[in-house]
């Protein structure tokens, strides 16, 4: 059974940092690109993606230069390092598995975690 479990969310002050983790199981982790998608308070927003090998990373303009995506394929874990956080980064953050198994494409995601809430407020 495919499972993704996010952790690391919480309350942080503007300008602060957080590191989100996503532990994956039930599939060949390194064969799939992975994404972070956030939701606040209603609509979905793609944040970042990483290829299966970890060699290619992609970011939305809204987080470029502040967020860093990475993965540890030996631990089947995806990360999102978030720096210089702003109030507008407040959202539920989901990790999502690309449905394509080439390791490159991430335009659709067939499994999502339950999400972790990030609140940026003083």
Q: 62: which DSSP letter?
A: T
CB 35 to another protein: min, Å: 8
Q: What is the CA radius of gyration of the chain?
A: 13
Which x/- pattern over 56-95 shows residues binding another protein (rule: CB under 8 A)? --x-xxx-x-----------------------------x-
Task: Tell me whether residue 16 or residue 34 sits nearer to another protein (CB atom).
Answer: 34
74 by Cβ neighbours in 10 Å (0-12 / 13-18 / 19+) ranks as: exposed
Q: How many residues bind another protein (CB under 8 A)?
A: 24
Q: Is the distance from CB of 10 to CB of 119 less than 8 angstroms?
A: yes
Q: Measured between alpha carbons, how far is 54 from 79 in angstroms, rounded to an integer?
A: 11
CA 102 – CA 58 distance, rounded (Å): 16
The minimum distance between CB 74 and another protein, in angstroms, equals 26
Task: Give me the 8-47 binding string for another protein, x by CB under 8 A, dash otherwise.
Answer: ---------------------------x-x----xxxxx-
Binding site for another protein (CB under 8 A): 35, 37, 42-46, 49, 58, 60-62, 64, 94, 99, 106-110, 112-115
């Amino acid at each position: 059974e495919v499972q993704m479990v996010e952790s690391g969310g919480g309350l942080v002050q503007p300008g602060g940092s957080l590191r989100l983790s996503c532990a994956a199981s039930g599939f060949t982790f390194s064969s799939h690109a992975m994404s972070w998608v956030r939701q606040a308070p209603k609509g979905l927003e793609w944040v970042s993606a990483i290829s299966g090998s970890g060699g290619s990373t992609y970011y939305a303009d809204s987080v470029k230069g502040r967020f860093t995506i990475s993965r540890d394929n030996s631990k089947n874990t995806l990360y999102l390092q978030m720096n210089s956080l702003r109030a507008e980064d407040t959202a539920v953050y989901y990790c999502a598995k690309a449905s394509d198994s080439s390791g490159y494409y991430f335009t659709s995601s067939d499994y999502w975690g339950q999400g972790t809430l990030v609140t940026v407020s003083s």
